[in-house]
Structure 1
Amino acid sequence: MKNKVDIKRTILSRFFGKMFRAGVIYILVLIVGLFWAKSMLERRTWQTWDTFYWQLHWIQDNQVVCVVLLFLAGILLLGIFYWIRLLNYFQKVMDAMEQIPAGESQIHLPKDLIEVEYYMNRIIGDIRRNEQLAREAEQRKNDLVVYLAHDLKTPLTSVIGYLTLLTEERQISPELQEKYLSISLEKAERLEELINEFFEITRFNLTHLELEKTSVSLKMMLEQIVYEFQPMLAEKQLTCELVVEPADMKFLCDSDKMQRVFDNLLRNAVFYSEEKSVIHIKATRQDEKIKIQVKNTGTEIPKEKLERIFEQFFRVDKARSSRGGGAGLGLAIAKEIVELHQGKIWAESQQGKTCFFIELYS
Structure 2
Amino acid sequence: MIVILTTIILLLLLLLFQQYLSKRRLGKNLRYISNKIKLLISNKSSERILLMTEDKQLRELLMKINQLLDYHQEYLADNARMRMSLNRMLTNISHDLKTPLTVVLGYLENIQYDNDYTPEERNALLAKVSVKVIDVASLINKFFDLAKLESGDWKLDSKRIHINEVCRKVVVGYYDTLINKGFDVEINIPKEALYLYGDEDALIRILNNLLSNAICYGKDGKFVGLTVVADNETVTIEVLDKGKGIPHSKQDRIFERLYTVKDSKTEFAEGSGLGLTISKRLTEQMEGKIEFSSVPYSRTAFILTFKNA
Residues of 2 paired with 1:139 and 1:282: CA distance?
Answer: 37
Taking a change above 3 Å as real, the CA distance of residues 138 and 163 of structure 1, as seen in their structure-2 partners, is: same
Which residue does 1:185 correspond to in 2?
130
The answer to whether structure 1 residue 110 and structure 2 residue 51 are counterparts is yes
Residues of 2 paired with 1:234 and 1:335: CA distance?
Answer: 28
Counterpart pick for 1:134 among 70, 79, 82: 82
The superposition leaves residues 131-164 of structure 1 with CA deviations (integer Å, 9 ceiling, x where unpaired) of 4322321221122133124214323224413431
Equivalent positions of 1:317-336 (< 5 A) are: 317=262, 326-336=271-281
**TM (normalized to structure 2)?**
0.79
8 Å contact 1:239–1:276 — kept in the other structure? no
Residues of 2 paired with 1:158 and 1:185: CA distance?
Answer: 13
Q: Which moved more, 1:338-347 or 1:281-290?
A: 338-347
Counterpart pick for 2:255 among 294, 305, 310: 310
Which residue does 1:354 correspond to in 2?
300
Equivalent positions of 1:13-32 (< 5 A) are: none
Taking a change above 3 Å as real, the CA distance of residues 188 and 116 of structure 1, as seen in their structure-2 partners, is: closer
8 Å contact 1:282–1:294 — kept in the other structure? yes
The superposition leaves residues 96-152 of structure 1 with CA deviations (integer Å, 9 ceiling, x where unpaired) of 433344234224442235746753553454244324322321221122133124214
Taking a change above 3 Å as real, the CA distance of residues 173 and 247 of structure 1, as seen in their structure-2 partners, is: same
Which residue does 2:18 correspond to in 1?
78
Structure 2: runs of 5 or more not aligned: 54-58
Equivalent positions of 1:52-91 (< 5 A) are: 58-60=1-3, 63=4, 69-91=9-31
For the residue of structure 1 that corresponds to 2:225, the secondary structure is: strand
Which residue does 1:273 correspond to in 2?
218
8 Å contact 1:280–1:295 — kept in the other structure? yes
Residues of 2 paired with 1:259 and 1:68: CA distance?
Answer: 86
Residues of 2 paired with 1:280 and 1:311: CA distance?
Answer: 25
Equivalent positions of 1:1-362 (< 5 A) are: 58-60=1-3, 63=4, 69-105=9-45, 106-112=47-53, 113=59, 115=63, 119=67, 122-164=70-112, 169=115, 172-200=117-145, 202-203=147-148, 206-207=151-152, 209-245=154-190, 247-274=192-219, 277-317=222-262, 326-352=271-297, 353-362=299-308
Which residue does 1:28 correspond to in 2?
none
Q: Which amino acid aligns with 2:37?
A: M
The superposition leaves residues 236-268 of structure 1 with CA deviations (integer Å, 9 ceiling, x where unpaired) of 233443323463111112333232222221111
Taking a change above 3 Å as real, the CA distance of residues 229 and 72 of structure 1, as seen in their structure-2 partners, is: farther
Kindly state the Cα deviation for residue 334 of structure 1 after the two structures are TM-superposed. 1.9
Identity of aligned residues (%): 20
Structure 1: runs of 5 or more not aligned: 1-57
Kindly state the Cα deviation for residue 345 of structure 1 after the two structures are TM-superposed. 1.9
Kindly state the Cα deviation for residue 308 of structure 1 after the two structures are TM-superposed. 1.1
8 Å contact 1:315–1:328 — kept in the other structure? yes
Residues of 2 paired with 1:342 and 1:207: CA distance?
Answer: 15
Residues of 1 paired with 2:136 and 2:167: CA distance?
Answer: 29
Structure having greater relative contact order (Cα 8 Å, sep ≥ 6): 2
For the residue of structure 1 that corresponds to 2:304, the secondary structure is: strand
Residues of 1 paired with 2:150 and 2:170: CA distance?
Answer: 26
Residues of 1 paired with 2:291 and 2:220: CA distance?
Answer: 25
Taking a change above 3 Å as real, the CA distance of residues 163 and 203 of structure 1, as seen in their structure-2 partners, is: farther
**TM (normalized to structure 1)?**
0.69
For the residue of structure 1 that corresponds to 2:272, the secondary structure is: coil
Instruction: Select the structure of larger CA radius of gyration.
Output: 1
Q: CA RMSD in A?
A: 3.3
Taking a change above 3 Å as real, the CA distance of residues 310 and 287 of structure 1, as seen in their structure-2 partners, is: same
Residues of 1 paired with 2:213 and 2:141: CA distance?
Answer: 17
8 Å contact 1:246–1:284 — kept in the other structure? no
Taking a change above 3 Å as real, the CA distance of residues 325 and 339 of structure 1, as seen in their structure-2 partners, is: closer
For the residue of structure 1 that corresponds to 2:219, the secondary structure is: coil
Taking a change above 3 Å as real, the CA distance of residues 298 and 313 of structure 1, as seen in their structure-2 partners, is: same
Q: Which amino acid aligns with 2:228?
A: A
